[in-house]
């Protein structure tokens, strides 16, 4: 496949050489001109826009559908958070391990992303038609009217599993693709732009579409699915991967097969204490913001806020984060993502501790929710390149999947546990902010320990990821 992105697939001695119009940027065997970088970033960010619109839109719509068909908070946490986490715990390590070792004409990431994009569209369409399909199935089987909601939710669950199968692949490999094709010297700034695109997609959905989610969920879900599949496919057809060193050869007498691969995976990822701290820091950060994000739609309604107004707060939240996105990416390149992460976590914990007690109505909820969104956005922007800065490049997808494995264990527990607590406490959604505060403090401590190890290994100027 021809590509306008790279000029020659020959190694260069540094990530950037030359100056002005003759400047060249290197990522592995790929060497880019400045114009080539613009094209590369454009296609990667287009794929991310398609992904993020799905990410920003699908969960709140599905959450509202669950409430419409009588699901409890416990079940919502189980459905929206634990089910995808369980699927990811099983699939992400397998996909990442095989992707790191795959060598083919299309690269080692693109074949998996390309193959699963249509599956996401099918799963999303299934979610869109779940109320109709569930009702038809229920009528055809002659089941009692009282169990109609369970039938619809079951059909939603089957579609959600299919959809999340494709999402697990995207989550596992999009960052790995970026790690393979974007020059390391620009990775923080790329993720600043990455956040800009993510925020724009959230702003568009929150301002224009979220207020219509209850009445027009069907066309919204179908549109998100089609855009996601088309965007990821187009990105895969236009981005070119470079050449990779061959995978580790099988040694004489070395066992092969699934069991041997599992042993190799756990030996590579979990045998060094330093990486255990890194994995825990990356995983807990995702869990920190999950309780508020999961139940934010329900919290808004409980404080008397309409979905249209909630969507406007989402727009404002993302607008603030948009202004901060590129500067935070620059700060990550300048001061390192670990430092940005620790400062953000400390501020977030303090704000959530206060916010959990001061919310009384829609205005105070809106302010605390806005601060939650801006601060979590600061973390995800400033620390977006943390994995790329700390983990080994050749087995990057495998190592990020190990962090994802721990993350999904946390999400599997936190989602339904928070939901159950809310059911018992009369659906007082202030507790989601207080839970976020506690997890943020734990995450801050773990990130600090990982940072101390990082400094001992050379720090920002001399660090080389241990193999």
Tokens found for residue 21: 């119009």
- Delimit the domains of the chain by residue range: 16-242+256-462
User: CA 202 to CA 198: how far, in whole Å?
Assistant: 6
Q: Which helix (H) or strand (E) holds 190?
A: helix 187-204
- Show the low-confidence residues of the chain (pLDDT under 50): 1-14, 255
**Which residue has tokens 């919310």?**
359
| Tokens found for residue 421 | 């607590």
194 is written with which tokens?
């990455």
* pLDDT for position 258: 66
CATH of segment(s) 16-242+256-462: 1.20.1250.20
Which residue matches tokens 């994009």?
A: 117
Inter-CA distances, 87 with 90, 280, 333, 465, Å? 5, 19, 34, 29
Task: Please tell me the distance from the alpha carbon of residue 184 to that of residue 186, in angstroms, as a whole number.
Answer: 5
Question: Helices in 241-289 by DSSP H: which ranges?
Answer: 258-270, 273-288
Residue 26, helix vs strand vs coil: strand
Contacts of 235 (CB under 8 A, 6+ apart): 43, 44, 46, 47, 50, 113
Cβ–Cβ contacts within 10 Å for residue 293, how many?
18
pTM for the full predicted model: 0.68
Write the pLDDT tens digit of every residue in 135-163: 998 888 888 888 899 999 998 999 988 88
Q: Looking up tokens 């709140």, which residue turns up?
A: 60
Matching residue, tokens 């603030």: 320
Half-sphere exposure (CA, 13 Å, Cβ side) for 303?
24
pLDDT, tens digit, for every residue of 6-30?
Answer: 433 333 334 566 555 668 888 888 9
Q: How much is the pLDDT for 16? A: 61
Specify which residues 30 forms β-bridges with: 27
How many CA atoms does the CB half-sphere of 64 hold within 13 Å?
A: 20
Q: CA 3 to CA 259: how far, in whole Å?
A: 39
Q: Which residue has the tokens 């995207």?
A: 170
Quote the pLDDT of residue 12.
39
- Report yes or no: 189 and 337 within 8 Å, Cβ to Cβ: no
Secondary structure element (H or E) that encloses residue 392, with its range: none
Main-chain phi, psi angles of 381, to 5 degrees: -85, -55
> What b/e readout covers 95-107, taking b as 16+ CB neighbours within 10 angstroms?
bbbebbbbeeebb
- Beta strands across the sheet bearing 16-17: 16-17, 24-27, 30-32
pLDDT of residue 251: 62
Distance (Å, rounded) from C-alpha 288 to C-alpha 168?
20
> For position 58, what pLDDT does the model report?
81
The model's pLDDT over 221-273, given as tens digits with 9 standing for 90+, comes to 998 888 888 999 999 999 999 888 888 776 655 545 667 777 888 888 888 89
As a whole number of angstroms, the distance between CA 95 and CA 86 comes to: 15
And the tokens for 312? 């406007």
Angle, CA 365 vertex, CA 341 and CA 346 arms, to 5°: 20
Q: Which two tokens stand for residue 355?
A: 């916010």
H-helix or E-strand spanning residue 236: helix 217-238
């Amino acid at each position: 496949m021809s590509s306008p992105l790279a000029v020659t697939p020959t190694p260069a001695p540094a990530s950037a050489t030359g100056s002005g119009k003759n400047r060249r940027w290197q990522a592995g065997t790929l060497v880019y001109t400045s114009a080539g970088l613009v094209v590369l970033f454009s296609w990667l960010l287009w794929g991310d826009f398609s992904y993020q619109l799905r990410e920003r839109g699908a969960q709140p719509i599905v959450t509202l559908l669950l409430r419409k068909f009588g699901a409890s908070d416990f079940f919502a946490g189980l459905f929206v958070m634990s089910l995808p986490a369980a699927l990811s715990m099983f699939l992400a390590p397998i996909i990442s391990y095989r992707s790191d070792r795959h060598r083919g004409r299309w690269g080692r990431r693109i074949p998996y992303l390309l193959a699963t994009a249509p599956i996401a569209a099918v799963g999303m369409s299934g979610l869109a038609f779940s109320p109709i399909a569930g009702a038809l199935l229920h009528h055809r089987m002659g089941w009692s009217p009282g169990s109609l909601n369970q039938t619809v939710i079951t059909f939603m669950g089957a579609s959600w599993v299919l959809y999340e199968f494709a999402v697990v692949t995207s989550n596992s490999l999009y960052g790995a693709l970026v790690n393979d094709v974007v020059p390391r010297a620009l990775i923080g700034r790329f993720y600043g732009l990455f956040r800009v695109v993510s925020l724009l997609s959230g702003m568009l959905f929150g301002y224009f579409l979220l207020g219509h989610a209850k009445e027009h969920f069907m066309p919204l879900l179908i549109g998100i699915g089609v855009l996601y599949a088309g965007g990821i496919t187009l990105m895969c057809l236009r981005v070119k991967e470079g050449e990779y060193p061959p995978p580790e050869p099988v040694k004489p007498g070395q066992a092969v097969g699934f069991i041997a691969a599992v042993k190799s995976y756990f030996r590579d990822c979990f045998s060094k204490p330093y990486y255990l701290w890194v994995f825990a820091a990356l995983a807990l950060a995702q869990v920190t913001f999950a309780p508020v994000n999961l139940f934010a739609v329900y919290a808004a309604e409980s404080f008397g806020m309409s979905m249209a107004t909630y969507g406007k707060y989402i727009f404002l939240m993302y607008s603030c984060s948009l202004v901060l996105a590129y500067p935070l990416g620059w700060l990550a390149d300048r001061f390192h993502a670990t430092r940005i992460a620790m400062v953000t976590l400390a501020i977030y914990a303090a704000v959530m501790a206060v916010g959990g007690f001061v919310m009384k109505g829609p205005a105070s909820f809106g302010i605390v929710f806005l601060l939650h969104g801006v601060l979590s956005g600061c973390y995800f922007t400033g620390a977006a390149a943390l994995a790329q800065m700390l983990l080994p490049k050749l087995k990057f997808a495998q190592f990020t999947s190990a962090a994802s494995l721990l993350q999904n264990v946390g999400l599997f527990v936190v989602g339904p546990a928070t939901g159950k607590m809310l059911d018992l406490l009369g659906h007082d959604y202030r507790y989601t902010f207080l839970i976020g505060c506690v997890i943020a403090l734990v995450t801050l401590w773990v990130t600090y320990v990982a940072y101390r190890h990082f400094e001992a290994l050379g720090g920002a100027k001399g660090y080389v990821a241990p193999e």
